[in-house]
Amino acid sequence: MESDLKKTLKLKIRQPNLKSLRDLSNKLKNSQRRTFVVRFGKLLNLLEVTVQEGALTTLAQFYDPPLRCFTFQDFQLAPTIEEFEQILDIPLGNKKTYLYMGHYPSLATTAATLGIGVRELASKKEMKGGVEGFSRAYLEGYALCLAENEKWDGFMDVLALIIYGIVLFPKIKDFVAIDVFLAYKHERRSPVPAILANTYHTLNLRHERKGGMILCCFPTLYLWFMTHMFQKGSQIETISKSEWAHNIASLSEKTIVWYSYEQDISEVICQCGDFPNVPLMGTEG
């Protein structure tokens, strides 16, 4: 295993600065935060997760592209839809999953959702990297305006939208695409399979290209792995990348936390029609 770690890929992650989002979330009172959870799941919790870069860049070294899982010295792990659902508190249930349909929502639909005039919104719309969306700074400024005027329903929608773009589906720095959020809000389409698909996609791509920038929802991947690496309630200390490498390489089937009974997962999706697995479609194709 030590010899394998010497052949590490040169990987890095770009974590967004979440301070302004935490400041916005702190404007919600306790009752409003409970309403937010009912509407959007535990998105606010993701803002409080301290993701240690060394943990994820080391974990990514153990990804096994052909098997689509993490292969360690005597066991394998793979993140599942059910586990990501529990982290985000967005159960799939009878919801359909998000699928990019090849076009973006109309400007009128977006404007009505955000409570912004069509003309103003059109002047703020941008296209970056082939993606249509809005700058983070513009949306955060608008959220502040809504909070000052105590328009809390609109505020929660805009805050959730920014979290979708910056945390759940990061692609372009400080840029927010709106498609997945609108699919969830108006059609109740679950974003969870797409979040998981993006995670697999970036890991496959980085191994294919022998390194580079990992882009996915870091808090969900980090929390998923921490629940397997540590017992619930364990203190996760801040350690160096080399210490993460040693600790993760030392994991075995006897030390890993296989399953938390608190998860209480009664059904697991393991096949789709005639497929012996679950095909996933994310925002990256």
d(CA 56, CA 45): 19
pLDDT at 15: 94
d(CA 179, CA 96): 15
What pLDDT does 42 receive?
Answer: 97
Which structure tokens are listed for 141?
């400024």
The whole-number pLDDT of residue 273 equals: 79
CA angle, 164 then 209 then 283, to 5°:
25
Q: Would you state the pLDDT for residue 78?
A: 94
Return the structure tokens found at 258: 């296989």
**pTM assigned to the model:** 0.92
Torsion angle (degrees, nearest 10) of CA 198, 111, 136, 27: -100
pLDDT on residue 271: 74
| Residue 265: predicted pLDDT | 67
Spans in the chain with pLDDT lower than 70: 1-6, 233, 260-266, 285
Please give the pLDDT value at position 266: 66
d(CA 15, CA 217): 10
Q: Which residues contact 128 (CB under 8 A, 6 or more apart)?
A: 172, 175
